[in-house]
Amino acid sequence: MFGKNEDKKEKRFEEIHVEGTVSGNKIIVDTETGVHYLYSWSGYSGGLTPLLDKDGKPVVK
């Protein structure tokens, strides 16, 4: 109904690094594309951005 992962038991996004509690950072990987994202938060606010290499291309592993 909501996408092809609906029938799968695996998660689309996986946290591979987390630091902090009230404020901090985590790196999240999209398991379908391999793209890495940085999520930073502080209190009730936060932001998400793709991680980029030195050439400005998304980090993919």
pLDDT of 6-40, one tens digit each? 556 789 999 999 999 999 999 999 999 999 999 99
Give the pLDDT of residue 22. 93
Domain boundaries, the chain: 4-50
Residue 1 reports pLDDT greater than 50: no
What would the pLDDT profile of 42-60 be if each residue is shown by its tens digit?
A: 999 999 999 999 999 999 9
What's the pLDDT band for 4 if we cut at 50, 70, 90? Answer: low
pTM above 0.75, yes or no: yes
Query: Is the torsion defined by CA of 10, 19, 35, 42 positive or negative?
Result: positive
